[in-house]
Amino acid sequence: MFPETDELSNIISDTIKVVFKRRLVDRVLRLLTEMARGQGFPRRDQIQPSKLGVDWRNCLVIAVQSPVQLSYLVAVGENLSLQSELIL
């Protein structure tokens, strides 16, 4: 009547993977992790908007400096640009 525990576990695991693939944050984090090659966050010259496709429109890149007050926006996606103008 009910699926085996392993089968149920696989169904849940597959469902979670599908849900996470749909989230912008998870897609971008996966790509950035691949770009960084195990070195934390990728360098700015490693970030290629073309690899992010349409997701790039919803991203921004911050050049973090020390002290943090010297940090600045490097790129702002077109879907965020109006909001960023209001914040800045």
> pLDDT at position 84, please?
46
| Domains of the chain: total | 1
- Between 5-22 and 24-36, two packed helices, what is the crossing angle to 10 degrees? 90
> Each residue of 35-82: pLDDT tens digit?
877 777 788 888 889 988 988 998 989 998 999 999 999 998 988 876
Pairing state between β 60-63 and 72-76: antiparallel
> Each residue of 6-34: pLDDT tens digit?
777 777 777 777 665 678 888 888 888 88
How many Cβ atoms sit within 10 Å of the Cβ of residue 68? 8
Task: Specify the pTM.
Answer: 0.59
- 32: containing domain: 5-87
